[in-house]
Amino acid sequence: MLRKTIVFITHDFDEAIRLADRIAIMKDGEIVQAGTPEDIVLNPATEYVEEFTRAVPRAKVVRAGSVMTQDDGDAPEAAVSARATIAEAAPLFLQGADRLRVTGESGETIGVLRRDDVIELMMRG
C-alpha cells in the first residue's frame, strides 16, 4: 500500500473504477459527486451522474464486503477478501461452491458471500 494521494484525470469511467478508491465526477468545472466507485454507481446524486454510470456493471464496483451476510459458524474453505469486487469473486463459484468465506484485512473471517446473492446482483446489471 502506497499511502499516497494521487490525482488522476480521465474521461474513461471504467478506467477510473479500476484505479481509484475514491472518484469525483465533474460537470461544467464543478464536482457534482465524490465518493467510492460503489457509492457513485449505486447512489448517483444527480441525473448527470446516473446517466454517466448507467452502463457500468454493478459487479465491477460492488465489493464482497457489501454483499456478504453474517457467518453462520460453518464458513467454507474458499475465501475472498472483503475488498474484492463481485466480478473478481464470481469465478470462484465456478468450482461448485455455494458460499465463500469473506475475510478482513488480517485474514479473519468476517462473513459469507452466497452464490445466490452474487447471481442476483449480476442479473440486475
Domain that residue 80 falls in? 64-123
Per-residue pLDDT band at 5 (split at 50, 70, 90): confident
Residue 2 within any structural domain of the chain: no
* Residue percentage of the chain with pLDDT more than 70: 95
Query: Could you identify the residue written with the cell 464496483?
Result: 61
What pLDDT was estimated at residue 75?
67
Whether residue 1 is predicted with pLDDT greater than 70 in this model: the reply is no
CB atoms within 10 A of CB 58: 19
Residue 8 within any structural domain of the chain: no
Residue 101 within any structural domain of the chain: yes
Residue 3 within any structural domain of the chain: no
End-to-end CA distance of the chain: 31
What is the value of pTM for the model shown?
0.79
Cβ-proximal residues to 84 (8 Å cutoff; 6+ apart), any chain: 63, 64
Question: In total, how many domains does the chain have?
Answer: 2
Per-residue pLDDT band at 125 (split at 50, 70, 90): low
Handedness of CA 108, 100, 21, 43 (dihedral sign): negative
Angle at 69 between CA 68 and CA 75, to 5 degrees: 95
Residues 69 and 101 in one domain: yes
Residues 19 and 40 in one domain: yes
